[in-house]
């Protein structure tokens, strides 16, 4: 892995480790799904269920490929290895990562117009613990065509860049806050 990839996966591990106990378990993934679910409309049970289902699928993938000692926990080292070898592998990336991105996009798009406004984007990332200053800056970077909104395609591009790009200047690196 590159240094940039190491930094991003380490930041992602810290973000997923909702209870701060230095390992990931099923409860961490349930908690992070709950955090994401908070941005969905109260009556949008389909999106909330999709968020929970996709985070559960990601947890099962991690458990299957990373939990070497069978203790039901994933360490930082196990997480980094499985992210590089399995989760970001073409056969798993769409179902493990992009399915969450699609469900999250639906949840964030609170007015159902198919795009994220600056307000929707900043609100979402505020709920996820990213400062308003950083998320407002990230919004500008992720709005690739400069039209004042982030389309579904632009959001998917940002997700792909965060997980797969080794380019330190890739806009998608700014999704979860400063990396590095």
For residue 151, the SS3 value is strand
Mean pLDDT calculated for residue range 120-144: 90
pTM of the prediction? 0.83
Q: Looking at residue 180, what is its pLDDT?
A: 57
Question: Which carries the bigger pLDDT value, residue 3 or residue 60?
Answer: 60
Longest CA span, the chain: 49
Residue 167: closest CA among 156, 158, 155:
158
Mean pLDDT calculated for residue range 32-37: 89
State the Rg of the chain over Cα. Answer: 16
Question: Which 8-state DSSP code applies to residue 42?
Answer: T
Cβ-contact 152, 114 below 8 angstroms: yes
Q: Can you list the alpha helix ranges (DSSP code H) found in 67-174?
A: 76-82, 90-93, 99-108, 118-127, 132-142, 152-164
Q: Looking at residue 127, what is its pLDDT?
A: 82
> Would you place residue 156 in the very low, low, confident or very high pLDDT band (cuts 50, 70, 90)?
very high
* Digit-coded pLDDT (tens) for 107-123: 888 888 999 999 989 98
pLDDT above 70 coverage of the chain, percent: 97
**What CATH number does the domain located at 3-167 have?**
1.10.238.10
Question: How high is the mean pLDDT of the chain?
Answer: 88
Q: Looking at residue 124, what is its pLDDT?
A: 82
Question: Which carries the bigger pLDDT value, residue 39 or residue 132?
Answer: 132
Mean pLDDT calculated for residue range 59-83: 88
Question: Which carries the bigger pLDDT value, residue 122 or residue 68?
Answer: 122
Does residue 86 surpass a pLDDT of 70? yes
Does residue 80 surpass a pLDDT of 60? yes
Q: Looking at residue 75, what is its pLDDT?
A: 93
Domain ranges of the chain: 3-167
Q: Looking at residue 2, what is its pLDDT?
A: 59
């Amino acid at each position: 892995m590159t240094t940039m990839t190491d930094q991003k996966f380490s930041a992602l591990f810290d973000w997923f480790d909702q209870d701060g106990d230095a390992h990931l378990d099923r409860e961490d993934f349930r908690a992070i799904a709950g955090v994401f679910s908070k941005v969905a409309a109260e009556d949008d049970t389909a999106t909330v269920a999709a968020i929970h289902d996709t985070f559960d699928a990601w947890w099962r993938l991690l458990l299957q490929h990373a939990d070497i000692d069978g203790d039901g926990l994933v360490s930082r080292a196990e997480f980094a290895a499985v992210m590089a070898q399995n989760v970001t592998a073409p056969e798993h990336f769409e179902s493990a990562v992009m399915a969450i991105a699609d469900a999250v996009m639906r949840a964030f798009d609170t007015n159902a117009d198919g795009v994220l406004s600056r307000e929707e984007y900043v609100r979402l990332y505020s709920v996820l613990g990213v400062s308003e200053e950083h998320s407002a800056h990230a919004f500008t970077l992720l709005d690739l065509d400069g039209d004042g909104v982030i389309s579904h395609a632009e959001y998917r591009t940002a997700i792909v860049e965060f997980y797969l790009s080794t380019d330190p200047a890739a806009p998608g690196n700014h999704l979860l806050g400063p990396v590095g």
